[in-house]
Amino acid sequence: MTVEIGLPYPYDFDRALARLAGNPVHAVDLDERLVRVPMDEGNLVSVQGTGTFGEPSFRISGLLDEKQLARVRWIFHFDEPLDGIAAHFADTDLAPIFAEHAGTPLVRSFSLYGELVKSIIHQQLNLSFANVLLMRFMELYGMQQDGVWRFPAPEQAARLTVAELRELQFSTRKAEYVIGLSQAVAEGRLDLESMRTKTDDEVTAELTALRGIGPWTAQGFLMFGLGRPNLFPTADIGLQNALKALWDLDRKPTQAEIRERFPDWSPYLSYAALYLWRSIETPAG
DNA sequence: TGCCAGGAATTGC
DNA sequence: GCAATTCATGGC
């Protein structure tokens, strides 16, 4: 099943793809303007940009049914207008960032479990090495289907040993965190799908009860996994460096200094964070 | 070379 | 309770 859809608001699909392409797990083709998404039912769905920033349209192919279309619309933020968000920041210190990145959507993760695994691997490590670790993990324990990666089932990862992950150059702690998370999901102690209907605070409380998931990882899950609009990980080094540059400081801002800006930025903290990250990820803008 | 990296748990006072 | 330390290793 293939459908063509258009959106009634500006949407920067190319910048969305550029961000997805920063994660080597994703199957993105920037020239063809498409990304292929592994679905839980086993098929692959291709989402291709066919329009422009001002008149966005898409060709979505490989769908099995309407339910899958609804999931794709949810993942890509197709039913949540973005055009009021940049205006909210017009009179703030983030106006230049929003002038550049307005219309870039907060595309949700293709796998909630995978989002947490990726986040744990990325804790404290530079992006390039973290991605090396992630791909070593995927090549040994993930599944590749027509060039598209799927994370291993939590039940499979739950049976890994710390020694096996140490061989991939995971730290002992990272190995324990990933295995422990997988066991919690596999044993039903953590129901990730149920998080979709819970409040930010409820999700944070459940996730941070697990060893290895702190505020930064929980906030990332809410932002990128669930697409929640009002999270800002103040502990994030990248965001601290982005604000240091934006504010022209000679040191990174403290978390308290960042939180002082929350009243002006709310209720769109997630977009502030997303665009600040983008502002330092792509030197050309 | 030494500090830093899209943190979190643990220890020490 | 809160600050300092530890974890592991690549990048620069």
Q: Tens of pLDDT along A28-85?
A: 999 999 999 999 999 999 999 999 999 999 999 999 999 999 999 999 999 999 999 9
CA of A283 to C1' of C11 (A): 18
All domains of chain A in start order, with CATH: 3-79 (3.30.310), 112-225 (1.10.340.30)
Nearest nucleotide to A166 by CA–C1' distance? Answer: C8
How confident is residue A284, by pLDDT bands cut at 50, 70 and 90? very low
What average pLDDT does the structure give for chain A? Answer: 96
State the Cα–Cα distance between residues A21 and A32, nearest whole angstrom: 13
Asked if residue A217 keeps its beta carbon closer than 7 A to nucleic acid strand B, the reply is yes
Q: Is A236 a catalytic residue?
A: yes
- Write out the two tokens for A237: 């080094």
One of A236, A248, A250, A264 is an active-site residue; which one? A236
Radius of gyration of chain A (CA): 19
Nearest nucleotide to A238 by CA–C1' distance? Answer: B6
Report CA dihedral (A219, A220, A223, A225) to the nearest 10 degrees: -120
- Per-residue pLDDT, averaged over A188-210, amounts to 97
State the Cα–Cα distance between residues A64 and A45, nearest whole angstrom: 9
- Per-residue pLDDT, averaged over A2-24, amounts to 97
Asked if residue A209 keeps its beta carbon closer than 7 A to nucleic acid strand B, the reply is no
CA of A126 to C1' of C6 (A): 18
Closest C-alpha among A55, A53, A67, A64 to residue A17 = A53
pLDDT at A283 over 80: no
Asked if residue A124 keeps its beta carbon closer than 7 A to nucleic acid strand B, the reply is yes
Please report the pLDDT score of residue A285 as a whole number: 33
Please report the pLDDT score of residue A50 as a whole number: 98
pLDDT at A268 over 70: yes
A11-21 confidence digits (pLDDT tens) = 999 999 999 99
Please report the pLDDT score of residue A282 as a whole number: 57
Closest C-alpha among A224, A272, A234 to residue A254 = A234
Residue whose pair of structure tokens reads 């459940």 in the numeric block? A206
CA of A79 to C1' of C12 (A): 42
CA of A132 to C1' of B5 (A): 14
- Write out the two tokens for A190: 């953590």
Closest C-alpha among A119, A187, A123 to residue A153 = A187
Please report the pLDDT score of residue A281 as a whole number: 80
A125-148 confidence digits (pLDDT tens) = 999 999 999 999 999 999 999 999
Nucleotides of C under 7 A from a protein CB: 7-12
Asked if residue A125 keeps its beta carbon closer than 7 A to nucleic acid strand B, the reply is yes
CA of A197 to C1' of B7 (A): 27
Residues 53-92 of A near strand B (Cβ < 7 Å)? none
